[in-house]
Structure formats: structure tokens, C-alpha cells
Amino acid sequence: MHHCRICDSETQNIFSFGRMPIANGFLEGPSDPEYFYPLSLVLCPRCCMVQLRSVPAPKLMFGRSYAFISSTSAAMQAHFKTQAEDILKLVKGKKDPFVVELGCNDGIMLKHLAGKGIRHLGIEPAANVARQAQKNGVTVLKSFFDPQTAAKIVRRYGKSDVICASNTLLSVENLNAALEGVKLLLNDNGVFFFEDPYLLDIVSLGSFDQIYDEHIYYFSGHSVANLARRHNFELVNMEHQDVHGGSMRYLLEWQPAPRNRAVSHWLAKEKRKHLSSRTGFRGFTKAIRTTAVSLKRTLKNLKKRRLQVVGYGATSKSTTLLNYSGIGPEHVEYITDNSPTKIGKFTPGMHIPVKDRKAFLADNPPYTLLFAWNHKREIFAKESRYRKQGGKFMTYFPKLKLHGLKGRGILNINNTKPTTMRAEIRRSGNHRTLKVAIHPRPKRPRFSAKAELKSSKRSL
């Protein structure tokens, strides 16, 4: 029996992924010891909070060396620059405003406030990224956030006008304690906002790779509204963000406070999707199984044809996808990444090697599985030359697709319309490149996507 971390009610099971390694636990060698835990998703029917059933200790996830560096993405740099501008609007006209960010990472947002002379403080428990934030001119406190930490900050700096967090609050297991810390730190006219992946987007897209150890909670407007009321706050606005595959910014103020129309809009959408009961997750759990089976089957078929497949983006989220689907180096030769904390290491659980971009450009593989799918636009623009040379990216949410050159369309692997593929084989070293032409109404299709899906369903 599992009880909700927020209201202590008995939770209901949604889905179990089995044994899972630490999502950011990249290994120096494939034989290194690893920590595994049971990854299961549950729902609280009382306060509507979707959460993990059990999680590893924080020190296993956010130790001395944390692998995720925000500034490696140009899209995230642009997003946080805009967020900093939004904060400047919130504190405009205030005398000597003070801004606190929970989980500041490498200072990707706060450095903009520091550059404007705004008094600020970043809370960051991971030592390596905290040091990077300090190099970026950000004032950092290396600590987890709780009421004791909040009290220390108040004694030294005073109360805050704005407290914010991005992709952080969902990782704080004792969320009630974190909100009590916010209550101590926020001044009477202050604003608290946080951004995290939005549950409605995850369910609608079927993006189950968002579910991993660091993501303890999966917020909706209903669950945040209930959480806010428990701590004398009111959810006053919801602003959708086009990052992390769909995120939501939740703005909280002290009660009583009027609600923006946007809150009612999003709450109504969630109600129509039944996100407060297990009924709303039936399609999601089916999509998890279908995606895992069909993706692995497709990779095996490409391997049989001796076609090279590599991955792009050694993301935290790829850990869930790879381990649940059973996809290893026999399916994906390596993953290319630009993060120095991951290059030269091996992925958690499945032990796929991580290489730098030079290897990717040298190989020019015919197929690339896009694990960093939430940065698709940025990556497609960056790798335009690769695509012009015939390379194809593969995405898997909401359906398996191959993305070729602009103007030549997108091949939907799950397309059930009868098609045939005529192939021209080109050799390059030990690999063969398949140039595909698609024709409708074949008499003898060489590859039947319809049969592929039927076979996948029988395997579920």
C-alpha cells in the first residue's frame, strides 16, 4: 500500500516500468556497478497528484557530479532569457528587489538578472553545476531547499519578492516542506511560480520517457491548485510553455487572490480528459506498450538489413525508453551528445556508448533515433547538412516517424496504408545506406507497416 506524499491518502496504480537505473547515472565503463529501483506511476484520487510510487535517495540523483547542464541547449538559453525578462517585469518599481531560484543549475536564468544588478540567490544542491553558476556571476547557495534553508536565507538576505523554479519542484520529494519553506521566504506581496512538464501534454503525446527518478511528481492544474490551498496560496495563473515537450508555468500568490481565466480554461481541459481518475490514463498505458514494442521491432528490422542506427541526445528521459523497451547497443550503435559530462561514458542500464558530434558527422549514419525529441526544431536546423546528405531522424511520439528533407515529406512508420519501398543500396565502409522511394497500392509490398503493427499488438 502506498500513500500520497501530499495528503496521505491511499494511491492507485497507473503503470509499472519494472527495474530502472538512475536516469542520469552515466557510467565510466559498462561493467560499473549500478543502482536499480522499481519505477511505478500512481495517482492520488483525493488531491489528484500523479507521482512515483518509490524514488531513490536524493544523493544518488543529485550528487557531486550532476550530468544535466541547461546551457548546452540554445533553445533553453532563449527560454530562460525570456523568463528573466518576465521576472524583471514582476519586480519593476520595487525597491531593491530580491529574487530566489530553486534549482538554478548552471545559472542559465539568474545570470541575466545578475547582469542587471538584481539582488538574487540560486539554490543548487549539485556541486558541479553550482560551481559553473558561480563562474557565470551568480550568487549560489549549495543546498537542498527546506524550511531550515529558507530561514537561513531570510536571516542573511531578507524575504524575497519572487521565488521561482524550473524543472525543479517535481524533483522535491517532500513537497509540503518545500512549500512551507516558500511561505517563510516569500514576502507579503511576493509571487511564487514554477515550471514543470505538464501532465496533460505527457498523456496526450504518450511521452512516457518523461517518467523517471528525478521526476517524482507530474503536475496538473487540479493537483497544483489543491497543493497551493494546503499552504494558504492560490493558483492565480497558468501559462503554457513550449519546452520539455510541453510544460506549464504555475503562478501562486497568497490567499485570497483572483484567478486568471487561463486557470479555468486548463482545469476544464483536464476535466474533459479525466486526469483526476485512472480512466484518463487507459489510452496512455496502451500507448506505452505499443511504442516500446513497435520501436524495438523497427530497430531490429533495420539491423537485419545492416543499416547503421545511432542516437542523438543522451537525455535523462532516454533512460526510461531504452530500459523499458530493451533497446541496447545491438540496436543503437552509439548516442551522440554535446555535454562534456556524458561524452565517453555509457548510458544507464543498457550501456550504449556516448560519443561527441565529430563521430556522428564522420559516420553520417542513415538513421538517427532522436532521443532529444523536445529539441527537434533546434536539432533539425543544426543538422541540416546531415539531412541534405540523405540522413533521416526517427521520432517515436506520438507515432514512429522518419523525418527526411523538407519538401520530401515525413515517412510515418505506423502508416497502415499499403505502400512499397524500392531501395537503392549504397555502401560506406562496413555499413549500407538504404535510399527509399515510396509508392502507393503495391502488388507485393516489400515492407508492410500494417503487418508490423499487428505483430506488435500480438506481442503486447
Q: Which residue ranges does the chain devote to CATH 3.40.50.720?
A: 295-459
Phi, psi of 349 (to 5 degrees): 80, -55
125-134, 321-330, 421-430: the lowest-pLDDT one: 421-430
456 pLDDT higher than 70: no
CA distances to 164, 182, 185 from 100, rounded to whole Å, are 6, 10, 9
pLDDT digits (tens, 9 = 90+) for 258-312: 999 999 999 999 999 999 999 999 999 999 999 999 999 999 999 999 999 999 9
Q: Which residues, 6 or more positions from 410, have their beta carbon under 8 angstroms from its beta carbon?
A: 401, 402, 403, 404
Alpha-carbon 364 to chain mean position: 27
Q: Which residue ranges does the chain devote to CATH 3.40.50.150?
A: 12-276
pLDDT digits (tens, 9 = 90+) for 354-375: 999 999 999 999 999 999 999 9
Whether 126 and 120 have beta carbons less than 8 Å apart is answered as: no
Which pLDDT score is estimated for 57?
A: 87
Q: What is the mean pLDDT of residues 374-386?
A: 94
Which pLDDT score is estimated for 407?
A: 42
Q: What is the mean pLDDT of residues 52-61?
A: 88
Cα separation of 99 and 110, whole Å?
Answer: 9
Cα separation of 420 and 443, whole Å?
Answer: 8
384 pLDDT higher than 70: yes
Q: What value does the mean pLDDT of the chain take? A: 89
Q: What is the mean pLDDT of residues 313-317?
A: 95
17-26, 39-48, 202-211, 403-412: the lowest-pLDDT one: 403-412
Q: Which fold has domain 295-459?
A: Rossmann fold (3.40.50)
How do beta strands 186-197 and 119-123 pair?
unpaired
Q: How many residues does the chain have?
A: 460
pLDDT digits (tens, 9 = 90+) for 118-176: 999 999 988 888 999 999 999 999 999 999 999 999 999 999 999 999 999 999 999 99
Which pLDDT score is estimated for 68?
A: 59
Alpha-carbon 169 to chain mean position: 13
Cα separation of 113 and 110, whole Å?
Answer: 5
CA distances to 182, 224, 233, 257, 280 from 237, rounded to whole Å, are 18, 11, 12, 10, 24
* CATH of the domain spanning 12-276: 3.40.50.150
pLDDT digits (tens, 9 = 90+) for 83-103: 999 999 999 999 999 999 999
Cα separation of 422 and 438, whole Å?
Answer: 7
* Banded model confidence at residue 59, pLDDT cuts 50, 70, 90: confident
Which pLDDT score is estimated for 64?
A: 52
Global confidence as pTM: 0.86
Give me the residue label for grid cell 542573511: 156
How do beta strands 367-370 and 354-355 pair?
unpaired
Q: What is the 3-state secondary structure (H, E, C) of the chain?
A: CCECCCCCCECEEEEEEEEEECCCCCECCCCCCCCEEEEEEEECCCCCCEEECCCCCHHHHCCCCCCCCHHHCHHHHHHHHHHHHHHHHHCCCCCCCEEEEECCCCCCCHHHHHHCCCEEEEECCCHHHHHHHHHCCCCEECCCCCHHHHHHHHHHHCCEEEEEEECCHHHCCCHHHHHHHHHHHEEEEEEEEEEEECHHHHHHHCCHHHCCCCCCEECCHHHHHHHHHHCCEEEEEEEEECCCCCEEEEEEEECCCCCCHHHHHHHHHHHHCCCCCHHHHHHHHHHHHHHHHHHHHHHHHHHHCCCCEEEECCCCHHHHHHHHHCCCCCCCCCEECCCCCCCCCECCCCCCEEECHHHHHHHCCCEEEECCHHHHHHHHHHCHHHHHCCCEEEECCCCCEEECCCCCCEEECCCCCCEEEEEEEEEECCEEEEEEEEEECCCCCCCCHHHHHHHHHHHC
Q: Which three cell numbers stand for residue 121?
A: 540567490
